[in-house]
Amino acid sequence: MKNSNFPKIIVVKIGTSSVTLEDGKIDRININKIVAQIYALSLRGSKVVLISSGAIKVGMGILGIKERPKDIPHLQACSATGQSYLMEVYNDIFENYGLFASQILLTYDDFRSRKRYLNLRNTFNVLMEMGCIPIVNENDTVSTDETKFGENDTLASLVATGINADLLINLSDVDGLYTKDPSKNKDAKRIPVVEEITSEIVKLGGKSSSGVGSGGMASKIKAAKIAVSSGTGFVIANSKDENVIYKCALGDDVGTFFKGLSHNYTGKQTWLAFASKTKGIITVNCPAREKLISGKSLLPVGVLTVEGSFGVGDTVSISCEGKIFAKGITYYSSKDVLKIAGKKTNQIEKILGKNDYEEVVHHNNMVIL
């Protein structure tokens, strides 16, 4: 679909197959094509952030490792080796176009902390204002199972929502989302536009055919849901298509375009919904759920029970009848919430000896999922 306004901030995510050859060597020709398109976007006034996979595969090629390691230490070793070589190539090619690249390596912890999340957003904004092209990858050299993204699709969407990007272009070795698996069904048809990510759309997710990356169609649809929830348009397209990045920015009919929601999450709500780490669960009754969905705050009278241990200011999930439907920042610890559960607000001071807040979770610190 044609964009009425050329996107001002664009995030481009490229997979391992886009930057490497079969033997693990860096695909300079394809990277040059990618950089040339980013240069063309910069001439149109767009600010671009590049999310690049490939460090592990490059490191494997350099170290002579044939199969992708399964243990974290060897993955970290490959990433540490490959990342420097990959950035060297990026720097050389970007300089040929008069652009400067800057490296940002991230783990999930950089998003889970609200303070680090805001600092990270400020860093991106300053780099883009200075004309730099941030090149982002997961920090595989230090990440663990608890802090890993596992793939760069989610990372790209969290970056895009954090900097209020207009468009996220997710490039891979597939032409987009299909009605069926195109490798098994000749009658499979590409879906040009997704208006809403329904359960039927989610079911269409499959695995990557390349075998060299860690993401697949399922992870891309999950990433699309994050992006569109904050109003960012999301495109899945084939990196091998000629000038695909520029075509996506123009709104040409390439790949599959997921429309950004008009009534989207705020930056804080996006962080709460997709990046914050929850410390426990507060279960509420049905009347409380309806009030929360309508925009009200969570009062003690609506609380049934608590799971987990959390403190003041921690993020918690909010559930009803076994289903989590919201997340929010609590004003009370898990111990205090248990004491005042089901009570009226005028009873809080008598029970706790204080009444700092009438709400357990204020609606300004909550997001409905």
Mean pLDDT estimate for the chain: 90
Question: Does residue 3 sit within a domain?
Answer: no
How would residue 261 be classed by pLDDT, with cut points 50, 70 and 90? confident
Q: Are residues 128 and 254 in the same domain?
A: yes
Is residue 208 over pLDDT 50? no
Per-residue pLDDT of 18-73, as tens digits, reads 899 988 899 999 999 999 999 999 999 999 999 999 999 999 999 999 889 888 88
Question: Does residue 258 sit within a domain?
Answer: yes
Among 207, 234, 267, the domain boundary falls at 267
Q: Are residues 130 and 228 in the same domain?
A: yes
Is residue 94 over pLDDT 50? yes
Residue 304: both structure tokens together:
């049934």
Question: Does residue 272 sit within a domain?
Answer: no
Mean pLDDT for the stretch of residues 276-282: 94
121/2 Cα distance (integer angstroms): 29
Neighbours of 239 (CB within 10 A): 22
Which one is predicted more confidently, 159 or 239?
A: 159
Q: In the prediction, which pLDDT does 143 show?
A: 63
Q: Are residues 206 and 61 in the same domain?
A: yes
Question: Does residue 1 sit within a domain?
Answer: no
Domain around 217: 9-267
Mean pLDDT for the stretch of residues 241-246: 95
Closest CA relative to residue 256, chosen from 174, 153, 154, 157: 174
Residue 81 CB-half CA count within 13 A: 19
Question: Does residue 313 sit within a domain?
Answer: yes
Q: Are residues 344 and 222 in the same domain?
A: no
Q: Are residues 261 and 292 in the same domain?
A: no
Q: In the prediction, which pLDDT does 213 show?
A: 43
Which one is predicted more confidently, 205 or 281?
A: 281
List residues bridging with 307 in a β-sheet.
281
Q: In the prediction, which pLDDT does 215 show?
A: 52
Q: Are residues 239 and 309 in the same domain?
A: no
How would residue 212 be classed by pLDDT, with cut points 50, 70 and 90? very low
Is residue 295 over pLDDT 90? yes
Q: In the prediction, which pLDDT does 174 show?
A: 84
How would residue 214 be classed by pLDDT, with cut points 50, 70 and 90? very low
Mean pLDDT for the stretch of residues 338-366: 95
Per-residue pLDDT of 305-339, as tens digits, reads 999 999 999 999 999 999 999 999 999 999 999 99
Q: In the prediction, which pLDDT does 18 show?
A: 87
Q: Are residues 281 and 258 in the same domain?
A: no
Question: Does residue 67 sit within a domain?
Answer: yes
Question: Does residue 2 sit within a domain?
Answer: no
CATH number at residue 107: 3.40.1160.10
Among 267, 293, 320, the domain boundary falls at 267
Neighbours of 213 (CB within 10 A): 23
Is residue 254 over pLDDT 90? yes
Q: In the prediction, which pLDDT does 114 show?
A: 86
Mean pLDDT for the stretch of residues 180-205: 90
Q: Are residues 49 and 119 in the same domain?
A: yes
Q: In the prediction, which pLDDT does 275 show?
A: 86
Q: Are residues 224 and 330 in the same domain?
A: no
pTM (predicted TM-score) = 0.83
Among 226, 242, 267, the domain boundary falls at 267
Number of domains present in the structure of the chain: 2
CATH number at residue 332: 2.30.130.10
Is residue 150 over pLDDT 70? no
Q: Are residues 299 and 359 in the same domain?
A: yes
37/243 Cα distance (integer angstroms): 7
Order across the sheet with 100-106: list the strands. Answer: 100-106, 132-138, 47-52, 9-14, 167-172, 233-238, 256-258, 193-194
Is residue 12 over pLDDT 50? yes
Q: Are residues 288 and 173 in the same domain?
A: no
- DSSP H/E element including 12: strand 9-14
Q: In the prediction, which pLDDT does 147 show?
A: 46
Least reliable range by pLDDT among 130-134, 165-169, 215-219? 215-219
Q: In the prediction, which pLDDT does 210 show?
A: 41
Q: Are residues 180 and 262 in the same domain?
A: yes
Mean pLDDT for the stretch of residues 364-369: 94
Pairing of the two strands 9-14 and 323-330:
unpaired
Question: Does residue 298 sit within a domain?
Answer: yes
